[in-house]
Copies of this chain bind each other. A is one copy, B any other.
Amino acid sequence: MRFAFTEQQLELRGAVRQVLASECTPADLRALHERPPEPAAGPALGRADPGRTSARWAVLAELGAPGLLAPEAHGGLGLDEVDLTGVLEEAGRVALPEPLGESAGLVVPALAGLLELPGAGADAGADPGKVARWLGAVAHGEAVATVGGVEVGRAGPVLTTAPLDPDAQLPDAVPCRTPRVVASDRADVALLVAPGAGGGLEVHLVEAAAARRLPTPSIDGPRRPGEWEWVPSPETRLASGGAAAVLVGSLVDRGALVAASQLLGLADRMIAMAAAYAVDRKQFGRPIGSFQAVKHLLADARVRLEFARPATYRAAESIARGRPGRAAHAAMAKALASDAADLAARVALQVHGAIGYTWECDLHLFMKHTWALSASWGDAVTQRARVLAEALAGRSG
């Protein structure tokens, strides 16, 4: 039993932190934020600043971040989810708008897993050459990958992709719609879950060029969620049947971990911002941070964060080792991290007072990303229901 990061893990994380501090500043985020669009007429895709985005992605690629989980044979670092969780905590700290969690944490292990399990490929008929090409491209940071079509429900994965024509016969050659694909405008490729024949699931790999992409209004503009219209086909199919079910189960657990890791960083950032503000800001002739009410608000937020961390690291270790409890561990991590970050957001706003309510104050950049991530991949209530179900099964079994 050794429940601690290695020196190397801390170094990698430190390097990412250092780079992101200059590559992803509040000013960068503000540039990507728009006044929330009127829902009737969404903004055209492509408002992102692709130059800055590609530059930042290139820097992350140089550190090996997108390919962190990819085997070295495919151009990755061959590291594991414990390494990744620390890196994503740093991504959260700067509210990184690019889909590092999706690319590095979900798509890379999915593609790498398919290559390692020949059964899966056979089951679906995916072309291993194509899988390997995309894996390499994503791992090297040449392509940006995202994920869609699945959310987390109390009883398991919830499919969100649906045929445009509700009466159409699935699966192939029927145009489908997948809502809320993040990084919709900058992803080159997406791993999309879709309904299969006979009520089953399928997983497809869809190139951005092959999809019609419409932006979804979001309070967290830089995340760029969008709806993809696309046509499942044998060429896009990666897995079906049992292999798809396993893959989607893994996506759900990894999605929770990836979101939880970033939420830890976000919470830490917001608490630090609020603490700094409380030291500077004076009311009634003294720093507001000297008032017990402010101290106790921030202390409570710090405590919730403190206890969300080891639970998230444990989930990472569980997934890395393929432990049987990994689903419950990921759910627990997400529940704790969502609550910790939501509390941090509320407390930070309370401490900032009216200033925190303005566009000029950086706080909203982090609050909005927190709200989006907290609701993604299973909110705290949903994930607690999953934990409870697993725990009860464990006690009676």
Query: Which A residues contact B (CB, under 8 angstroms)?
Result: 291-293, 296
Interface of A is mostly: helix
Copies of this subunit = 2
How close is A350's CB to chain B, nearest CB, in angstroms? 13
How close is A154's CB to chain B, nearest CB, in angstroms? 20
A291–B292 Cα distance when bound, in Å, is: 7
Of all A-B residue pairs in the complex, the 3 with the closest CB atoms, nearest first, are A292-B292, A292-B293, A293-B296
How close is A240's CB to chain B, nearest CB, in angstroms? 42
Q: Which residue of B lies closest to A292 (CB)?
A: B292
List chain B residues, Cβ under 8 A from A291: 292
A296–B296 Cα distance when bound, in Å, is: 11
List chain B residues, Cβ under 8 A from A293: 292-293, 296
A236–B206 Cα distance when bound, in Å, is: 79
A201–B137 Cα distance when bound, in Å, is: 74
A296–B300 Cα distance when bound, in Å, is: 15
How close is A296's CB to chain B, nearest CB, in angstroms? 6
A296–B293 Cα distance when bound, in Å, is: 8
Q: Which residue of B lies closest to A294 (CB)?
A: B292
How close is A74's CB to chain B, nearest CB, in angstroms? 54
Q: Which residue of B lies closest to A296 (CB)?
A: B293
A293–B292 Cα distance when bound, in Å, is: 6
A292–B293 Cα distance when bound, in Å, is: 6
List chain B residues, Cβ under 8 A from A292: 291-293
How close is A85's CB to chain B, nearest CB, in angstroms? 35
List chain B residues, Cβ under 8 A from A296: 293, 296
A293–B296 Cα distance when bound, in Å, is: 8
How close is A111's CB to chain B, nearest CB, in angstroms? 47
